[in-house]
Amino acid sequence: MTYGSSAINQEAIAAEFPFLSEREGKPLAYLDSAATAQKPTVVVNALSDHLLLHNANVHRGVYPLAAESDALFEGARERIAARFGRLPQETVFTKNATEAINLVAKSWGPANVEAGDLIVTTVMEHHANIVPWQMLRDSSGCELGWVEVDSDGQLDMASLDALLERKPKLVAVTHVSNVLGTINPIVEIAERVHTAGALLLVDGCQAVAQLDVREAVAVADFYVFTGHKVYGPTGIGVLLARRELLAAMPPFLGGGDMILTVNRERAVWNELPYKFEAGTPPFAEATALAAAFDWVDSVGLDAIREHEHALVSETLAAFEQLPWIRVFGPQDADSRGALVTFEVDGVHPHDVAEILGREGVCVRAGHHCAGPLMESLGIGASTRASFAVHNSSEDVERLVAALHEVQRIFAD
């Protein structure tokens, strides 16, 4: 039996995830990391350590405990910024990627987009990279253009080029589709977008846990991701952006820590990145997120990608032998991230997921917060199995066996 990539010590990795123990007498196959990743012990320890031993609000106190919390928080920012090739001033903490995209749409948007302008997004986007631009359209009178998806689940580059000829202000695109698994060519897209005089925002939520995204971050004007999908905690996201863009943007939220001074007449904004971090920031979560990236780097992104690629390849090969399963997105593992979205003929995805759950196989079912893509595919919902570094070939076997159980139940 194989266990994904030989570059991964599966037994050692599994030992770092206590949730893998049996549930209700069945082995647990967690195949929903695209929704939220499980946390290795080192990340949980980093979070609890900050809360138990260093808990004090940041940027407010001068006593030693507050200084410790400040140092951990800003140290986390520096480590994350350096990891992605950005300056700390270009690294804004938000509560998730959704808030980061909304920050750009509601801060950069009104200052730069007018009636008649064009914003471009794609049919394969998560709602978080659609709805803020629809809201900007509704408030500004701008137009929203859509890049289509071809029959293989790839972006239609001719569709993009046609929209770029209209000189849009901004193009918003996902790095890795959370439904199709498609890995988009961000560097190529950035070159086309910038040649057209537009800015590029990239949703990297599905990419940062499995790909080296530094080159994409370097060419993007805005790059966002969330902590909980990269083995980190919930409640924290990151906006990486060019300093000159952030400097020109007004604050997104008002309140404590985003100001230098306030009087009855006016407020003076704080310096970057604090201008965009109103209120108490997720300081303990930032420490844990930095620990998550340290852990990912200790395993090795290349090894993680190789391991997950092998599991996706095994899954696609197994599904090819099941004529009652239809796979969405690229048909080869090289073109997709660590997920496989599919449907079972004649069975609603919610029924598939419920039966799989009885067998200890955890998958996502529904529209995956991607309504326009579901409409484009001609379906209302689908089932998604998504992999992480702790998964093994045994998990693929459990998935396939549970799908045979689905088929048996609905064939009766």
* pLDDT number for residue 2: 35
DSSP state at residue 197: T
Is residue 222 a part of any domain in this protein? yes
Q: pLDDT by residue (tens digit) across 82-115?
A: 999 999 999 999 999 999 999 999 999 999 999 9
Would the CA dihedral through 253, 254, 256, 262 be positive or negative? Answer: positive
Domain contains 173: yes
What is the rounded CA–CA span in Å between residue 383 and residue 93?
32
* CA 336 to chain CA centroid, nearest Å: 15
Same domain flag for 405 and 284 = no
Which residue in 142, 205, 362, 369 is the catalytic one? Answer: 369
* CA separation for the pair 300, 8 (Å, rounded): 9
**Is the whole-model pTM more than 0.85?**
yes
Number of domains in the chain: 2
Q: Which of 297, 324, 358 is the last residue of a domain?
A: 297
Is 350 contained in some domain? yes
Same-domain pairing of 315 and 271: no
Q: How far apart are CA 44 and CA 214, in angstroms?
A: 26
CA distance 109 to 131: 13
Residue 377 forms part of a structural domain: yes
CA–CA separation, 43 and 48 (whole Å): 9
End-to-end C-alpha distance for the chain, whole angstroms:
32
Question: What pLDDT shows up at residue 175?
Answer: 98
Give the domain CATH number at 178: 3.40.640.10
Q: What is the CATH number of the domain that holds 377?
A: 3.90.1150.10
Same domain, 383 and 320: yes
Of 270, 297, 324, which residue sits at a domain end?
297
| One domain for residues 70 and 111 | yes
369 labelled catalytic: yes
Which residues are bridge partners to 383 per DSSP?
342, 365
Residue 340 is assigned to a structural domain of this protein: yes
3-state class of 148 per DSSP?
A: coil
Claim to verify: residue 290 and residue 311 sit in the same structural domain: no
Report CA-CA distances (Å) from 174 to 28, 46, 201, 205, 353: 30, 30, 8, 8, 26
322 and 396 belong to one structural domain: yes
Question: For residue 247, is pLDDT > 90?
Answer: yes
Residues 52 and 14 in one domain: no
268 and 306 co-located in one domain = no
Burial of 74 by CB count in 10 Å (0-12 exposed, 13-18 middle, 19+ buried)?
A: middle
User: What is the band of 230 on the pLDDT scale with cuts at 50, 70, 90?
Assistant: very high
* Mean pLDDT of the region 278-297: 97
**CA pair distance 334, 338, nearest whole angstrom:** 10
Q: What is the pLDDT of residue 104?
A: 98
Q: What is residue 3's predicted lDDT score, i.e. its pLDDT?
A: 34
Query: Residue 383: its pLDDT value, please?
Result: 98
Query: Domain check: are 306 and 244 in the same one?
Result: no
Q: How far is CA 138 from CA 109, 132, 198, 258, in A?
A: 12, 10, 20, 28
Same domain, 166 and 195: yes
pLDDT at residue number 6: 53
State phi, psi for 107 to the nearest 5 degrees. Answer: -105, -60
If you average pLDDT over residues 383-387, what whole number do you get?
Answer: 98
Query: Which domain covers residue 397, as residue numbers?
Result: 10-30+300-411
Residue 234 counted as domain residue: yes
pLDDT of 5 higher than 70: no
Determine the Cα angle at 152 with ends 146 and 158, to 5°: 40
Given 297, 332, 353, which residue is the final one in a domain?
297
